[in-house]
């Protein structure tokens, strides 16, 4: 048997972290078994589906490295297949037309509520005679299509994550609507039905999805049986929770994959973290691995039943590890869009060597890619603002003379090198008869506006290359006076 799995997002919003984690688990399982990973777009909700959301989903999966083997298939292009399947169930007597109005259903629900009962359809139109159907249609009533569910039936399956699962037909809310109302023929087929038709047609062997779909599984198993199809294996993975143990939501600051990208997370760091959300590798000490490395070890015996808590600190740490080991040329490519979004001006080609030198300077201090914006701001502006500590340093006794000495020494240095910079500092220390610490702190405050920051000599060299060191030294002398 060739393993065939699918991810089936709805284009009613951008690709969310929960859907992406489900895609990761499907991809890992398929690759572990040498199987196929199939992409299906469930866009039957025509009112809420948007092409821009579809684009976002496809771009997000590609960015994460979750390449698919077949698809994307669009449900909106398969309506004839669904309607044909509905008609087969009608012809076999396994489904029927229900003419119950919304007002009648509301009355039924209110009566059940008053009796303390769970809401369920009472199957009142399951056995209508042709005359009764004709009478309802003469009234102008439209009909939904309902699939028959026997209350006494027990539905059992072995979940790859949760073990034996059992539901009774009486717990499924009565006969299930599988197609919306329509004046003639059958209307728009609904989720629980079309997902089964698709999985049968695409020969899906394993359905891997979040535990919030468990309630659908019993209904879908009945549909597989009714259509004479082999039932796939099911694996219901734990939900992603916030640190308080509640289901993760936008209130927790977690949104779409594209937003994670804008927040400065790398694809490798994010997908590595998602792999650990509910699954633990055999070597519990290993936390950093590629998708391909994880696929070699992945199996549902190590997927947890309990919810997976989203830990921002852990994600930040993992992300920083990937940033720190990214080659300078690639990291520069990753940072350029963030600098551009911040409005920093540079020529990507002409300034490439300088940009890579800047990346080398700040890379080890980055946790997220977006951190490069504030950390490199002083290299993209003509002047800097002095912090309180920086201003205080410039007013220290001897600071002005030190800076004037540096300016004088620079006049003999058309282009500064690291050795020349060190020589200037030594020269000023000797001539001014001051401690090296005063020279270094005053120089840093003058060049960067603060007494803390990246390596001073490398910062000075970068500013010298673009002609900003002398102007900042002169301004600092003025500030000190």
Q: Yes or no: say if 89 and 147 are a contact pair by the CB < 8 Å rule.
A: yes
Identify the pLDDT of residue 347. Answer: 82
CATH class of 80-192: alpha beta
Q: Yes or no: say if 19 and 61 are a contact pair by the CB < 8 Å rule.
A: no
Q: What are phi and psi of 287, to 5 degrees?
A: -125, -20
For 319, residues 6+ apart whose C-beta sits below 8 A from its C-beta are 264, 265, 266, 269, 270, 273, 367, 368
Closest-CA residue to 427 (of 439, 442, 416)? 439
Cα separation, 46 vs 80, in Å, equals 16
Closest-CA residue to 258 (of 65, 66, 63)? 63
Phi-psi region of 455 (alpha: psi -120 to 50; beta: other; left: phi over 0): beta
Region 25-36: what's the mean pLDDT?
98
Specify the fold of 4-72+194-240.
Rossmann fold (3.40.50)
Clarify whether 250 is annotated catalytic. Answer: yes
DSSP string, 139-201: TT--EEEEE---TT-EEEEEETTTEEEEEEGGGS-SSEEEEEEESSS--PBPHHHHHHHHHHH
Name the pairing type of β-strands 36-41 and 4-7: parallel
Average pLDDT in the chain:
94
Cα separation, 99 vs 181, in Å, equals 9
Cα separation, 174 vs 148, in Å, equals 8
Place of tokens 């603002």: 385
Closest-CA residue to 282 (of 293, 292, 274)? 293
> Would you give the DSSP letter of residue 356?
H
Percent of the residues in the chain that have a pLDDT greater than 90, as a whole number: 89
Tokens of 62: 């590609």
Identify the pLDDT of residue 138. Answer: 93
Identify the pLDDT of residue 235. Answer: 98
Cα separation, 120 vs 109, in Å, equals 7
Region 109-118: what's the mean pLDDT?
92
Taking the CB of residue 381, how many other CB atoms lie within 10 A of it? 12
Q: Could you give the 3-state DSSP secondary structure of residue 236?
A: strand
Q: Please indicate whether the domains covering 326-379 and 388-480 agree at the CATH topology level.
A: no
Identify the pLDDT of residue 253. Answer: 72
Instruction: Please tell us whether the domain made up of 326-379 is placed in CATH 3.30.43.10.
Output: no
Closest-CA residue to 328 (of 354, 347, 367, 292)? 354
Nearest 5 degrees, angle CA 115-CA 121-CA 123?
A: 120
Region 55-78: what's the mean pLDDT?
97
Q: Could you give the 3-state DSSP secondary structure of residue 241?
A: strand
The model's confidence at residue 185, banded by pLDDT at 50, 70 and 90, is: low
The model's confidence at residue 53, banded by pLDDT at 50, 70 and 90, is: very high
In this predicted structure, which of 33-37, 106-110, 224-228, 315-319 has the lowest mean pLDDT? 106-110
Catalytic residue among 113, 230, 247, 250: 250
Name the strand (E) or helix (H) holding 41. Answer: strand 36-41
Q: Could you give the 3-state DSSP secondary structure of residue 466?
A: coil
Name the pairing type of β-strands 163-168 and 154-159: antiparallel
Pick the CATH number of 257-324 from 1.10.287.70, 3.40.50.720, 3.30.470.20, 1.10.1160.10: 1.10.1160.10
Q: What is the pLDDT of residues 134-176, one digit of tens each?
A: 999 999 999 999 999 999 999 999 999 999 999 999 999 999 9
Residue 249 has pLDDT above 90, yes or no: no
Region 330-340: what's the mean pLDDT?
97
* Residue 470 labelled as part of a binding site: no
CB neighbour class for 69 (10 Å; exposed up to 12, middle 13-18, buried from 19): middle
Going from N- to C-terminal start, the domains of the chain cover 4-72+194-240, 80-192, 257-324, 326-379, 388-480
Residue 183 has pLDDT above 70, yes or no: no
Instruction: Please tell us whether the domain made up of 388-480 is placed in CATH 3.40.1190.20.
Output: no
Region 311-334: what's the mean pLDDT?
97
Q: Could you give the 3-state DSSP secondary structure of residue 267?
A: helix
Region 56-65: what's the mean pLDDT?
98
Closest-CA residue to 281 (of 28, 7, 75, 66)? 28
Tokens of 372: 């490069």
Tokens of 354: 């300088």
Q: What are phi and psi of 247, to 5 degrees?
A: -55, 135
């Amino acid at each position: 048997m060739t393993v065939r799995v699918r991810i089936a997002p709805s284009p009613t919003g951008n690709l969310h972290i929960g859907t992406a984690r489900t895609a990761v688990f499907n991809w890992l399982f398929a690759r572990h078994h040498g199987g196929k990973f199939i992409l299906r777009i469930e866009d039957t909700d025509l009112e809420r589906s948007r092409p821009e959301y579809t684009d976002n989903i496809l771009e997000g999966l590609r960015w994460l490295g979750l390449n698919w083997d077949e698809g994307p298939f669009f449900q909106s292009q398969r309506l004839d297949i669904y309607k044909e399947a509905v008609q087969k169930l009608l012809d076999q007597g396994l489904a029927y037309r229900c003419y119950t109005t919304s007002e009648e259903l509301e009355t039924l629900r209110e009566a059940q509520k008053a009796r303390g009962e769970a809401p369920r359809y009472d199957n009142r139109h399951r056995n209508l005679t042709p005359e009764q159907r004709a009478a309802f249609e003469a009234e102008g009533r439209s009909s939904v299509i309902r699939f028959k569910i026997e209350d006494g039936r027990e539905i059992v399956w072995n979940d790859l994550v949760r073990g034996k699962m059992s539901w009774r037909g009486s717990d499924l809310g009565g006969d299930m609507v599988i197609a919306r109302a329509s004046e003639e023929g059958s209307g728009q087929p609904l989720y629980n039905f079309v997902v089964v038709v698709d999985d049968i047609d695409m020969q899906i062997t394993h359905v891997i999805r979040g535990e919030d779909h468990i309630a659908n599984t019993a209904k879908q198993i009945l549909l597989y049986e009714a259509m004479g199809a082999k039932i796939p294996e099911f694996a219901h993975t734990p939900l992603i929770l916030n640190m308080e143990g509640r289901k993760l939501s936008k209130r927790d600051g977690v949104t779409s994959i594209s937003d994670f990208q804008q927040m400065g997370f790398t694809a490798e760091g994010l997908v590595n973290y998602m792999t650990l959300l509910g699954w633990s590798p055999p070597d519990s000490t290993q936390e950093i691995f590629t998708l391909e490395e994880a696929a070699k070890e992945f199996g549902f015996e190590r997927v947890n039943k309990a919810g997976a808590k989203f830990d921002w600190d852990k994600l930040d740490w993992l992300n920083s590890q990937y940033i720190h080991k990214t080659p300078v040329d690639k990291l520069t490519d990753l940072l350029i869009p963030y600098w551009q979004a911040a409005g920093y001006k540079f020529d990507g080609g002409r300034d490439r060597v300088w940009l890579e030198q800047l990346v080398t300077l700040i890379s080890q201090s980055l946790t997220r890619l977006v951190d490069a914006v504030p950390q490199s701001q002083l290299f993209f502006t003509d002047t800097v603002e002095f912090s309180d500590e920086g201003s205080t340093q410039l007013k220290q006794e001897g600071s002005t003379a030190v800076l004037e000495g540096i300016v004088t020494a620079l006049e003999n240095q058309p282009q500064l090198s690291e050795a020349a910079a060190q020589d200037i500092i030594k020269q000023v220390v000797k001539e001014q008869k001051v401690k090296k610490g005063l020279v270094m702190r005053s120089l840093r405050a003058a060049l960067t506006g603060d007494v803390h920051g990246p390596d001073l000599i490398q910062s000075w060299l970068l500013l010298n290359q673009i002609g900003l060191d002398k102007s900042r030294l002169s301004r600092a002398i003025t500030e000190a006076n």
